[in-house]
Amino acid sequence: MCGFVGFADFKNDVSSMKNILINMNSTLSRRGPDEDGYYIDKNVALAHKRLIVIDPNGGKQPMIEKCSYGDYVIVYNGQIYNTKELKNELIKNNFSINSHSDTEILLKSYIHYGSNVVNHLNGIFAFAVWNTKKKELFLARDHFGVKPLFYTIKNGCLIFASEIKALFEYPSVEKIIDSQGISELFGIGPAHTPGYTIFKDIFEIKPAHCAIFNESGFHINRYWKLKSEKHTDSFDTTCDKVKSLLKDSITSQLVSDMPLCTFLSGGLDSSIITKFAADHYKEQDLPPLDTYSIDYVDNDKNFVKSDFQPNSDNYYINLMNENLHTNHHQIVIDTPELAKYLEDAMIARDMPGMADIDSSLLLFCKNVKNEMTVSLTGECADEIFGGYPWFFRADSLNSGTFPWSIAIDERQKLLNPSIGSMVNLKSYIDYRYNESLSEVEILDCDTKETAEKRKISHLTLNWFMQTLLDRSDRMSMYNGFELRVPFCDYKLAEYVWNIPWEIKALNGREKGLLRYICKDFLPSEIVDRKKSPYPKTHNPTYLAKVKGLLSDIMKDKNAPINIILNKDYILDILNTDGSAFSRPWFGQLMTRTSAHGLSLPSEYVA
């Protein structure tokens, strides 16, 4: 895993702009702490920050392949999981392979397949390839956007990077949040509309899209999407295929030249990942798999059951460790540290995110990084298999909006009245909601329930899951740590997408089919455990600490929070212990979201 930056210009010579390239690249040092590299000529400049995971000597970037018909240069962030198959195809076509780096395989696959290479890749990736002969830049992003890729165009120059902060190091790229940005931040946030950011004229290559930049302009193309098709497999065949796809995805992601582990919460999803990974380690006669969990000081003492968090994790973690004989490690975080890293988490995202849900993952990765470089996580199972309460709750299904963003009035009230009078969050949300639903393909053979669940599954996959993937990438890569998400496999998603809801939610349970498939190889307590989200602190001192931080910020009259937000309403929230914002801000955990998690550093406001 790594980060990269670059710019391409066909009207002006950029060969003298290396200092700008270095400044852009330096902002990504946390993503790639091990090496950096540069390539620059008249029309293009490319730079790379590397986190070494595969082939320390053979994976250096930018990587150049010299051919009789021109040179190819690649910068790349990600991991290709079908390198073995690609390598065999390349050898058949007389390519020589000089390393076991997936970067070399990706570059030569691009030379072989051209822009069609994206249809031959299985993995998580964002990359750019410069063709010196055609004078053409090709950019691509993986099927679900696990790896980021942002861009802007200024005076005909394409500027791109793995993180937004790098773009701001290029002259003339301004940090402006306009009315659309306000709507994205407070209406959609911490999600975002695919392709957009909160900053004016700064965009992302959408998941499953690629682009070509040449003298004729910037051309974007979608190369993949989920297709609705009639499911004809029997129940037993369906179970066998899902299990096989899961096993293939998990085991293919266990490749690393650096220490690798799994995150284990004792929930169904992380237990599945850990079970398949531990079995693979045993079959390969490798040492026991390392697993990691997170907890908080005094959490057992302060834990309170809720619909969204019905029980704590420790009992289930111990059960899995005894069952699999893994080498388990527990990371314990204290409340002051969690609050302290709220700002780091926001800087990692380049925008406000999910408050303590972000900072806790950032700290988790920071601690695991001391011993490991790569981890597999159970993220995305709920999106793929229908695991969230909103798949079953009538109030969410009938809300007429994104089911995780129903507190629209409260969101609107957060805005400074002078800004709120010009920005109608509900109208913007309604527009994006209906725009997204128009993309859903319903089949004539779909039952009423399956059709309804296709719609909410589409919203969940393309909006909510993207937010969690953004969180996983930014919080982990901020620590030079790689997270892999085996459930977010496009082949698995393609198959599960068309399984009728009555089978997917077998026995009326969230992820009912997945539970049924696992009953023969996981403890029954794990299989039957009610969904419990990412661990959070229940220590009341956290809220007190955040209130103190927010109060201190608000004392500065020029602080962005006092310009953008309704100060009186924020003070009301503070004075009533947050009861003025009792409905979840986003998803399951963010009731009484810290407004500190919603504030922008001054350098991000025009």
- State the amino acid at position 234 in one-letter form: S
Residue 117 has pLDDT above 70, yes or no: yes
Upper half-sphere CA count for residue 74 (Cβ side, 13 Å): 24
Both tokens assigned to 574: 């503070």
Catalytic residues: 2
**Three-state DSSP class for residue 255:** coil
Closest listed residue to residue 130, CA positions, set 222, 12, 214: 214
How far is CA 352 from its chain centroid?
15
The yes-or-no verdict on residue 1 having pLDDT over 90 is no
Q: Looking at residue 406, what is its pLDDT?
A: 78
With residue 141 as reference, give the H or E element that holds it.
strand 136-141
Whether residue 504 has pLDDT greater than 90? yes
| Confidence band, pLDDT 50/70/90 cuts, at residue 459 | very high
C-alpha distances (whole Å) from 308 to each of 163, 295, 326, 590 are 32, 17, 28, 11
pLDDT cut 90: percent of the chain above it: 76
Max CA distance (Å), the chain = 71
Name the nearest CA neighbour of 37 among 70, 76, 11: 76
CATH H-level superfamily of 2-222: Aminohydrolase, N-terminal nucleophile (Ntn) domain (3.60.20.10)
How far CA 364 is from CA of 144, 250, 288, 534, 590, in Å, comes to 24, 22, 21, 12, 19
Residues facing 332 on adjacent strands: 295
Tokens coding 336? 């002051």
Whether residue 322 contacts residue 328, with contact meaning beta carbons closer than 8 Å, is answered with no
Interval 197-217 mean pLDDT: 97
Rg of the chain (C-alpha set): 24
- Taking residue 53's Cβ as centre, other Cβ atoms within 10 Å add up to 21
Tokens at 319, concatenated? 């059960």
Q: What is the per-residue pLDDT across 421-432, written as a single tens digit (0 to 9) for each?
A: 999 999 999 999
Cβ atoms 220, 141 nearer than 8 A? no
- Distance, in Å, from the CA atom of 372 to the CA atom of 482, rounded to the nearest integer, reads 9
CATH placement of domain 235-527: 3.40.50.620
pLDDT tens-digit readout, 365-403: 999 999 999 999 999 999 999 999 899 988 888 889 998
Query: Rounded to two decimals, what is the model's pTM?
Result: 0.93
Q: What is the spatial distance between Cα 112 and Cα 402, in angstroms, rounded to a whole number?
A: 42
What tokens does 318 get?
Answer: 């111990």
Inform me whether the pLDDT recorded for 441 exceeds 60.
Answer: yes
- In the DSSP assignment, the letter for residue 186 is I
Tokens 């911490």 belong to which residue?
190
Residue 204: phi and psi, rounded to 5, are -125, 145
- Residue 243 C-alpha from the chain's centroid: 24
Whether 550 has a pLDDT exceeding 70, the answer reads: yes
Q: What is the DSSP code string of 82-129? A: THHHHHHHHHHTT----SS-HHHHHHHHHHHHGGGGGGG--EEEEEEE
Identify the weakest region by mean pLDDT among 127-141, 304-318, 404-418: 304-318
Query: 291, 300, 225: which is closest to 259 by C-alpha?
Result: 291
With tokens 């002969």, the residue in question is 133
Provide CB contacts within 8 A for 236, sequence distance 6+. Answer: none
Three-state secondary structure readout of 328-386: EEEEEECHHHHHHCHHHHHHHHCCCCCCHHHHHHHHHHHHHCCCCCEEECCCCHHHHHC
Task: Kindly state the tokens that stand for 248.
Answer: 């293939």
Q: What is the pLDDT of residues 259-293, one digit of tens each?
A: 999 999 999 999 999 999 999 999 999 999 999 99
d(CA 579, CA 368): 35
CA distances from 256 to 101, 115, 261, 373, 518 (A): 11, 27, 10, 9, 27
Q: 330 - beta bridge partners?
A: 293
Count of alpha carbons within 13 Å of 89, Cβ hemisphere only?
A: 16
Q: Which helix (H) or strand (E) holds 500?
A: none
CB 562 within 8 A of CB 384: no
Which of these ranges, 149-163, 213-227, 232-246, 406-420, has the smallest mean pLDDT? 406-420
Predicted confidence (pLDDT) at residue 197 exceeds the cutoff of 90? yes
Residue-level pLDDT at 497: 98
3-state secondary structure of 219: strand
Amino acid type, 432? R
Better pLDDT: 439 or 603: 439
Q: Which residue in the block uniquely carries the two structure tokens 């390839």?
A: 129
- Under 8 Å between Cβ of 573 and 596: no
Model confidence at 603: pLDDT above 50: no
Contacts of 396 (CB under 8 A, 6+ apart): 389, 390, 403, 406, 456
Q: Where are the domains of the chain?
A: 2-222, 235-527
Burial of 600 (0-12, 13-18, 19+ CB in 10 A): buried
The first and second tokens of residue 241, run together, are: 């295929």
DSSP at 327: E
The residue among 369, 376, 357 whose CA lies nearest residue 291 is 376
Q: In what order do the strands lie in the sheet with 136-141?
A: 63-67, 70-80, 123-131, 136-141, 209-214, 217-222
User: Per-residue pLDDT tens for 128-156?
Assistant: 999 999 999 999 999 999 999 999 999 99
Cα-Cα-Cα-Cα dihedral sign, residues 107, 350, 340, 411: negative
Contact status, residue 350 vs residue 475, Cβ threshold 8 Å: no
CB 102 within 8 A of CB 122: no
Average pLDDT for residues 346-367, to the nearest whole number? 94
2-222 and 235-527, same CATH topology: no
Cα gap 194→205, rounded to integer Å: 9
Q: What is the pLDDT of residue 604?
A: 33
DSSP characters for 62-85? SEEEEETTEEEEEEEEEEETTHHH
- CB contact set of 70 (below 8 Å; sequence gap of 6+): 131, 132, 133, 134
- pLDDT tens for each residue of 508-531: 999 999 999 999 999 999 999 887
